[in-house]
Each structure stands twice: as C-alpha cells, then as structure tokens.
Amino acid sequence: MAGESAPSAEDFSGWLTPRDALNLVQLVHPDISVAAILIVERLTGGKIVAAAESSVWGDSGKPSGIAAIPASYWPSLSGNRPDWWDTGDVRFFIRSGRREVPPRTGRFFGVRFKPDGISEITASARRERLSPAEYENWLPPRAALNALKPMSFDAAASMIIDHARAGLVEAVARLVQFSSDETQDRHYQIISKRHWAQVRDDDLSNSHFWDSGSIKEPSESTRFERAHGIENDDDPPEIVTLGVRFDPAGIEALKPRAPSPFSSNSDPGPAPPQLPPSATRDDLVGAAEITWLGEKPKHAGGRPAQPFWEAALLAVARRWHFGDFKPKRQADVQRALSDWLSANGHSAGDTATKERARALWEAFKEEDE
C-alpha cells in the first residue's frame, strides 16, 4: 500500500458509507446496478478515494487502524457478496505477480468513500430523483400558487405550468405509477418536460390538480380518441403521477417582476383610476385594464371588464419576456391571445382581442427601441 495515505480519524468520520454513496449516485442514475458499477469503476480508476476503519492480512494477522485502500485492489472485488454495500466489509485477493507465490488475502472493515469523488458524479449529471428529505422541503401545488399571490389563480397556474414545461421550474412526484408495468414504478422522481407535454391543459387548470397533486397521463389510444373527438372514460391512464411538488427556488424565481411591458418611458399614459376601499377584485382588474391599455373608463351601464384578460395578457407577456414567444407581427400576438383564451375555456370578440394585441405589441416594440 505504498504511496497511499490514510485519512485522520476526524476526516474519516465524515466520509460516506458504501450504501450512502450508492443512494446519492442513484439520485442521478436510478438503476442501482448502473450506480454500483459507476462507483466501482471510479474506485478502480482512482477517481473515488476509499479507506477502511481497520484491516487485517491473512488469517493470523493483527488488525490495523484506519487504512487506505489502493485503487489497484478494487479489480478483485468480484469475489465479494453484494451485502458489502450495507456491511462495509470487503475482501481482496492480491497477487504478487509471481506464480509460485500464493495470493494474499486482505480484509477491510467499515469501508468508507471520500465525499468529493461521489460529488463529482452527482454534479456532472442532471438529477432524476430526490431524497425523501429533499421532497418534504418542496412546495405542494397549492402552496406554490399561494407563493405567487396576489397573482390570480389562472395567471399563476399558467405561469407555473408553462415554466415547468420549458424546464425552468423543476417538479418532483412522490410516486410515478405505470399501468403497463408495475416494476417501473418510481419514487421521488423528477418530472420530465416530456411528461408535462403529454398532460392536457384542462387537467392542470382545474383545482383538483392544485389540491391533490395528482396527474394522469393518457395512453396512446386515449390520445388518439381525444384527437378525434372521442371521449372514453373506460380507458385507464398510462401513467399516474402522485404527490407532485415544485422546487421552491424555481417558484421564488417567478416572483420578481420585470418592468411592466404595458408602460412607456415617453408616455406614462393615464393615471390609475381612484377606487374606494370597498372595491372588489373585478373592480381592480377593470382598473388594471384601463391603466395598461389606455382605455377610457366605461360609463356605469357599460359591459364590465372580463377578469380573464388579466391572466391572458400576463401569460403572453411573460412568454414574450422570457423568449418562449417571438412574434414577428401584431397578428401573431392576437393569435397567441386567442389560443390562450380557447385553451382556458374563454371567448372574446375579434375587436377586443385585437385592441389588446395592439397595445401589447406597441408596448414591447417601444421597449425594444
């Protein structure tokens, strides 16, 4: 073992047991066999440093103190039972290179790995799972919505889902169940962008998801039937995702507000209408539309402002601001507003949609200049 130095007792106490190291690597490589092979290969290549609480050579040798394990020993690990990941006890058969000299048997007890070698693995790959402790610190859907108050339900829900689909806000599931193969069920799984894309907006915009955290991804046959206007409740979902939670850091990043795209440095527009303390939410939404779009307040007998315009304008503006939407003309903005209204079960006349599209288009163009 020349050239290998053992860690101090204080340093060694902070090193990882084999099982702890395996659990950490499984966060980015869920298949346990892949994670185990990766660790052993890096031990063999010297990328992960290992030591043992004690060791003994031969049948009559005396146990030593903390001992380093050279990288050259790990190729002879194959003779060990799989439970060494839990016991931390390994045995190596070391050959001298001379046929007439029998191999020496070294037993190492309480093996541990230096943490930085494991950290290199977890930092080099996008994680696919969380630990149970990490999961508990993430936000349930309703808590994520509440964190974005005073934003409306529709606006906050659309914003979170849009960012999740773009991979800008991470989400995790306590359990992902596959109806076709129960052996594929995964715990504390990070939800992929592909998974979000397969789920209908209708299933994410109602309160059931935001209160239960459950998502049902339809099978291929169900998607085909829906595309052709056929509703079949008997067809079971392909994937059921339970206990969805959102990364609090991702939700926090949605809070800061960029300068309003509805204002202009050269023309501040009309002052916000003065509202009494008893004003309702609809009154506030109507006032916001008047301020943003430069509209004149309608007389008392006019049609009240529709509250969904707030969510529609915010959804399109945020997509534009974050680069997910790059319109080339005002008509593209109008189409995006119409698409959002249709997807969220709302309708509006062409004139109302066009007016708001024009205001949004001109506001962003002025900022670009």
* Average of per-residue pLDDT across 58-85: 83
Identify the domain boundary among 89, 123, 157.
Answer: 123
Question: Which helix (H) or strand (E) segment is 215 a member of?
Answer: strand 215-217
pLDDT one-digit tens code per residue, 202-217: 777 777 889 999 888 7
Residue 214 in any domain: the answer is yes
> For position 237, what pLDDT does the model report?
58
Model pTM? 0.40
Structural domain boundaries enclosing 167: 132-253
Cis preceding-peptide flag for 150 (omega within 30 of 0): yes
Residue 118 in any domain: the answer is yes
Assess whether 201 and 161 both reside in one domain.
yes
d(CA 191, CA 209): 15
Residue 345 in any domain: the answer is yes
Assess whether 116 and 147 both reside in one domain.
no
pLDDT higher at 55 or 182: 55
Assess whether 188 and 247 both reside in one domain.
yes
| Confidence band of 41 (pLDDT split at 50, 70, 90) | very high
Residue 275 in any domain: the answer is no
d(CA 68, CA 40): 16
- Residue listed under structure tokens 């994520």: 144
Identify the domain boundary among 123, 156, 172.
Answer: 123
> For position 349, what pLDDT does the model report?
81
Residue 268 in any domain: the answer is no
Look up residue 48 and give its two tokens. 């992960």
Question: How many domains are contained in the chain?
Answer: 3
d(CA 181, CA 239): 10
* Average of per-residue pLDDT across 291-309: 50
Coil vs helix vs strand at 108: strand
